[in-house]
Amino acid sequence: IPISKQISMTNPSTKARKYYVTDTGLRNAILGVDEIETQSDEKGVLLETAVFNHTFRLMFSIDHQIRYQGYYYSEETEKDIILDLSKSIGGVFPIEVKNGHCGDDDIKKLKVAMNRLDSPFGFIICKEQVGLQDNIMIIPGWIFLLSC
């Protein structure tokens, strides 16, 4: 089931559409993935999928609407997930998921997306960093998944 949609105001994205599977174990079984510790790309995909699924549950808990589509933003920068709470609290919050370290370039790209979306706040989910910089909360994935 495709649950990702591209938002583009002027140009279509050159990246492939994203698909998230609700059950990552089933995904791994279908794709034949059995060694996640040695495959860094697989860790990143699983972390992004877990954050995406958690974000959907969070959106439902806040505004009690069932959504079948998640969003990623692509114009100048692509963001992994858009937390759309515009109907309930009037805000749209971009989320970038990094399997490793978050750098200054990631913060700059998130700021561009925040400006385009008129977003007051953004998140970068990474491996171990914690911080707050220019209305961007940088937190490890396990903390994000334990929150809310």
* Residue 122 identity: G
Residue 4: beta bridge partners? 70
Closest Cα to residue 141, out of 51, 78, 30, 39? 51
Number of alpha helices (DSSP H) and beta strands (DSSP E) in the chain? 4, 7
Pairing mode, if any, of strands 91-97 and 81-85? antiparallel
Q: Which of the residue ranges 51-60, 72-81, 86-95, 134-143 has the most confident prediction, judged by mean pLDDT?
A: 134-143
Rounded CA gap, 17 and 2, in Å?
A: 8
pLDDT: which is higher, 122 or 68: 122
Nearest residue to 49 (alpha-carbon basis) of 97, 2, 16, 92:
97
Q: What is the pLDDT of residue 29?
A: 80
- Range 90-115 average pLDDT: 87
Across the beta sheet with 122-126, what order do the strands follow?
81-85, 91-97, 122-126, 136-140, 131-133
Whether residue 49 has pLDDT greater than 90: no
Q: How far apart are CA 148 and CA 127, in angstroms?
A: 19
State the average pLDDT over residues 111-138: 90
- 38 versus 52: the higher-pLDDT residue is 52
A 10 A CB-CB count for 40 gives: 11
For the chain, the average pLDDT equals: 76
**pLDDT given for residue 9 in this prediction:** 43
Q: What percent of the chain has pLDDT over 70?
A: 71
